[in-house]
Amino acid sequence: MTMAEVGATSIRSTSLRSIGAGNLISCLSSLCNSRLSSVWAIVLAGLLVMTACGRGPHTPESLSAGDEWHDFQGTWTAAGSRDRIPLGNGRRASTAKFEGSLLLAGPSRPAVGFRAEALVLNDTTTGLVGRAVWTDDRGDQVFSELKGNGDSTGNKIIGRFVGGTGRYSGASGEYEFSWRFVLETEDGTAQGQSMGLSGTIHVGSAQAALNARGPR
């Protein structure tokens, strides 16, 4: 250590002693109060970076280790818009897109909830056809085809799983429900809710699903 460094150290020590413990604490408190927002911002940013770096790559997880069917019940609520045209003699056709949420119940449910989207073509004579995508909180999706028997109150709609992504890859099975509109305006805005939604889902090959389910 040089003479200059020794002198600087001596001056710093003398200055701290002259300030006193009480004044030092007061100075530190004032400094902390003035810098608190900046310090916490830096700390939180560091934690976020550490968390992001600590996460490994996302790997799909199976719903079960074996070939099992997962039963579920739930409620699907959605809002969207419908475009309708008359086809004469009381017959009507409509196209619609709905977005909403699907909450599931049951001990073997595949997930607690999904963001649910559906595109639907409905004809009051020939029935309903559509496609639906459910997305869970991981971003994994399950796809299904929809078929129904019209748009009368309490109509029955059948959904058939046709695959998915991530842990729903190879999804198969069916679900059913009735649909009830709770709000519909002249401009086509509509809101609705399912009634009695229940079904089963299996993840894996179609043959494995048949073997696991057995004769029905």
For residue range 144-170, list pLDDT tens digits in order: 999 998 655 447 999 999 999 999 999
Residue 16 has pLDDT above 60, yes or no: no
Q: Which of 198, 23, 194, 44 is nearest to 106 (CA)?
A: 198
Amino acid identity, residue 10?
Answer: S
Tens of pLDDT, residues 68-101: 789 999 999 999 998 989 999 989 999 999 999 9
Q: What is the mean pLDDT of the chain?
A: 73
Give the C-alpha separation, 181 to 191, whole Å: 6
Judged by DSSP in three states, 111 sits in coil
pTM of the model: 0.64
Other C-beta atoms lying within 10 Å of the C-beta of residue 199: 22
* Domains of the chain from N-terminus onward: 3-54 (no CATH), 70-213 (2.40.350)
